[in-house]
Amino acid sequence: MNWIDEAWEKAIKKVTLSGNRIKDGIPYKVVDRKYNDLSDDPNWWTNGFWAGLLWLMYKATGDGTFRSYAEGVEKKLDTALMNYDRVDHDAGFLWLLSAVTNFRLTGNEKSRRTGLIAASIMASRYNLKGGFIRAWNDYQGMNRAGWAIIDCMMNLPLLYWASEMSNDPRFKFIAQSHADTTMREFIRPDGSVKHIVCFDPETGVVKDWLGGQGYDRDSSWSRGTAWALYGFTLSHQYTGEQRYLDTAKKVANFFIASLPDDYVPYADFKAPRDLNIHRDTSAGACAASGLLLLSSLVSENERDIYKNAALKILKSLYENYGSWDEDYEALLKHGCVAFHSKDEADVSLIYADYFLMEALAQLKGIRPLFSRY
């Protein structure tokens, strides 16, 4: 048995065990060897990833138990959708992986409506002057009306799906406008990526950019780079636009060239190496899944470049960063939420597990949930 088959079988077994305990809970990070539960905070941006992981398990095994748990999570997220003041650009992470996937796999009409409502709220955040989707809402008196972040690229598939589902191109127009602005204002000539760009919300003019979860404003946060790599790949897949594929390759080339010897990224690619820099397995897993999809969309002579890089990342994650003990719930250790984080700089994260499973599923012929069906 090769390492891919071993990793897949171990992941299936471990998520099955975890699912028997978590059920329709909403895990975020591991505390005392078990995932915590954010069911009391349904609007948190990561809350769709467990549902997505359960749907991947359902697709892989056909076991209806995973479906029932995923539908239970979706019911909890219905309450989040009604809390309009807290819904933001991360609507894709929450409802593409839950309601939209439910509809795609089962034809559930209520889930379809939920997905369209979420897409409508996300589209309402579009700033016409700046051509961007606003990121977060205001917080503790901080006006963030003009803030856009690289993470939004991974949420655009919700809008592309809504356009196809409603036969209304306006959702797609908003998504493409945001992608074009991101391409122009976030992606540097070397393929590195800014995290936060601040626009004047009245004029659309760029005022500044911020380091956000990276080391500083001129660095390149590795998970943000993965968001861009995967996000532009998805925008190309949904629209067929060559400029998005070219941008995805540009960012992918930077990501691959910046990897250390064991192929698992540091939390920031441009931070000084004399600092005690944590790895981020979530960035590695997300990038690997994006690279696999990218490899299926490029020319034949480029295909192996991106697939081989994905395989090297995944093999290292499995062999060097995985946790296969039954009493430790997550699949991956050593995730990093933000470069300067103190309590979440070396932690297991649900989205790292999701993207690892999604990447392995791609190698087994299962289409990623973010992709166009």
CA torsion through residues 161, 165, 166, 169, sign: positive
Options 5, 24, 37, 151, the catalytic residue? 151
Cα–Cα nearest to 52, from 366, 372, 266, 351:
351
Orientation of helix 64-82 relative to helix 3-22, angle to 10°: 60
b/e sequence 261-274, b meaning 16+ C-beta within 10 Å = ebbbbbbbbbbeee
Predicted pLDDT of residue 83:
82
Whether 151 is catalytic is yes
CA torsion through residues 135, 137, 140, 141, sign: positive
Cα–Cα nearest to 233, from 210, 217, 249:
249
Per the CB < 8 A criterion, the answer to whether 133 and 122 are in contact is yes
Options 88, 90, 280, 353, the catalytic residue? 90
Question: pLDDT 10s per residue in the chain (373 long)?
Answer: 799 999 999 999 999 999 999 999 999 999 999 999 999 999 999 999 999 999 999 999 999 999 999 999 999 999 999 887 889 999 999 999 999 999 999 999 999 999 999 999 999 999 999 999 999 998 888 899 999 999 999 999 999 999 999 999 999 999 999 999 999 999 999 999 999 999 999 999 999 999 999 999 999 999 999 999 999 999 999 999 999 999 999 999 999 999 999 999 999 999 998 887 899 999 999 999 999 999 999 999 999 999 999 999 999 999 999 999 999 999 999 999 999 998 999 999 999 999 999 999 999 999 999 999 8
Place of tokens 């995730």: 335
Predicted pLDDT of residue 140:
80
Structural domains of the chain, with CATH: 3-363 (1.50.10.10)
Compute the half-sphere exposure of residue 321: CA atoms within 13 Å on the CB side of its CA: 31
Whether 190 is catalytic is no
CA torsion through residues 170, 172, 175, 179, sign: negative
